[in-house]
Amino acid sequence: MSSIIGLSTLLSLVLILGGLASIVFPIAPSIPTIWLGIFIYAAAHGYQGISQDFVGLISIVAMATILLDYTLSRSGVKKLTVGPWAIIGAVVGGLVGSLIGPIYAFLVGPIVGALVTEMLRGHDRIYSYQTGNYTIVAFMGGTIIKLIASIIMIGLFILRLQGKL
């Protein structure tokens, strides 16, 4: 194995695992990062074992996931008229919560972040609580969708590498 193929394989592994970790800790776009890892592996190996058709299939899964996540979050935002500041507050709250622990990252942080942001913007408590509740539902829904898609993408990739697909 040449050094370029070895380095690209290592980079692919880091990207795939980093994308998987980004589902829980939103430090990078998870699905595109996983896709990039698979693409780099396939391209570096000259599409041997991982064909261009397979990369196309993985691309369709990735694009469908991104579109679904975006569509669901936008429809919820429009329904509740959640502003961009509430979303930023929820993300910041989730990141701060992730420093404390998983429960705080998924439940407490986003709710408190959105709630505090909306209250600081002058909205009443009921609206702020609704916003906080929506952000947690949206965040968990998006996380579950991305987790399922990443398992499908990585699972198909592993099966393809083993020659079982």
Q: In b/e form, how buried is each residue of 88-118, taking b as 16+ CB within 10 angstroms?
A: ebbbbbbbbbbeeeeebbbebbbbbbbbbbb
Cα–Cα nearest to 89, from 70, 108, 69: 108
Residues in the chain, overall count = 165
Provide mean pLDDT across the span 2-25: 90
Token couple for 10: 């290592």
Position 1 pLDDT exceeds 90: no
Number of domains in the chain: 1
Token couple for 116: 């505090």
Q: Supply the range of the domain harboring residue 157.
A: 3-161
pTM listed for this prediction: 0.76
pLDDT digits (tens, 9 = 90+) for 107-124: 788 888 888 888 888 877
Average pLDDT, the chain: 85
Cα–Cα nearest to 50, from 154, 148, 146: 154
**pLDDT at residue number 80:** 65
- Sequence-ordered list of residues with C-beta below 8 angstroms from that of 161, at least 6 positions apart, any chain: 49, 50
pLDDT digits (tens, 9 = 90+) for 46-85: 998 899 999 999 999 999 999 988 887 777 666 666 677 8
**pLDDT at residue number 58:** 96
- Sequence-ordered list of residues with C-beta below 8 angstroms from that of 115, at least 6 positions apart, any chain: 89, 128, 129, 131, 132
Position 157 pLDDT exceeds 70: yes
Position 28 pLDDT exceeds 70: yes
